[in-house]
Amino acid sequence: CNTRFVADALAKFLKIHAREVSFAGQKDKHAVTEQWLCARVPGKEMPDLSAFQLEGCQVLEYARHKRKLRLGALKGNAFTLVLREVSNRDDVEQRLIDICVKGVPNYFGAQRFGIGGSNLQGALRWAQTNTPVRDRNKRSFWLSAARSALFNQIVAERLKKADVNQVVDGDALQLAGRGSWFVATTEELAELQRRVNDKELMITAALPGSGEWGTQREALAFEQAAVAAETELQALLVREKV
């Protein structure tokens, strides 16, 4: 069961509205995962969550807290990946070494787009019909899928053009392990490239929407050209002020 399914079941168990259950992020249903959920139950005794039962879910720990858990309130994620039916072990190990040295493009995965791409399809229908979407969860999933698809398109086009780790004028560069970022200038490209190679900086790509893209000049022109054909999705994001 995924995060939303567990949150809905928890709300039903506590006899509260589903919107009163929050979480910092969505967990994939096809994995063994752990995460905190937050239920707003002011003025009530501490519920006995040991009695909460849901197939595929186990309560490990619970306690009261004075602050609500909000989307995005994450320090990070940690994963253990299991590779099965590996046919060429030496080749796989070399690729893993390359990943450690160069990293990998940070694409949004298939789960962002729903089963069979249903979230992205929903976003496209919404963009084409302009019919109001009342369901908050659908709105969130569809808008997220739309932005993620545009981001993936930018990354894919950049991979076609050159090394994804090659800094260009106007790139938005993020300090490794921090949220701070700045825009690359032509005069600094050599030094900035060294810092990217040393993993001090990371090259980012835009999440298109109604706000500023972050990149400037050459990088901005490239990103806008990469998604120029996706006029409907871009118009949807601007219309919904994402």
CATH number of the domain where residue 47 is located: 3.30.2350.20
The whole-model pTM stands at 0.74
Total structural domains in the chain?
Answer: 2
- Whether residue 163 has pLDDT greater than 80: no
Integer Cα distance of 116 and 67 in angstroms: 37
Report residue 24 CA to chain centroid gap.
Answer: 12
Is residue 86 within 8 Å of residue 136, measured between CB atoms? no
What local confidence, expressed as pLDDT, does residue 127 receive? 96
Domain boundary (82, 109, 143) is at 82
Task: Indicate which residues carry an active-site annotation.
Answer: 28
Measuring CA to CA, which residue among 154, 144, 142 is closest to residue 228?
A: 154
What local confidence, expressed as pLDDT, does residue 178 receive? 87
- Whether residue 164 has pLDDT greater than 90: no
- Whether residue 26 has pLDDT greater than 90: no
Is 149 exposed, middle or buried (CB count within 10 Å of its CB: 0-12, 13-18, 19+)? buried
Domain co-membership, 127 together with 22: no
Average pLDDT of the chain, as a whole number: 93
What local confidence, expressed as pLDDT, does residue 83 receive? 86
- Whether residue 29 has pLDDT greater than 80: no
Domain co-membership, 62 together with 114: no
Higher pLDDT, 100 or 126: 126
Q: Which two tokens stand for residue 211?
A: 């706000």
Integer Cα distance of 4 and 24 in angstroms: 12
**Is residue 241 very low, low, confident or very high in pLDDT (cuts 50, 70, 90)?**
very high
| Domain limits for position 124 | 90-239
Higher pLDDT, 93 or 75: 93
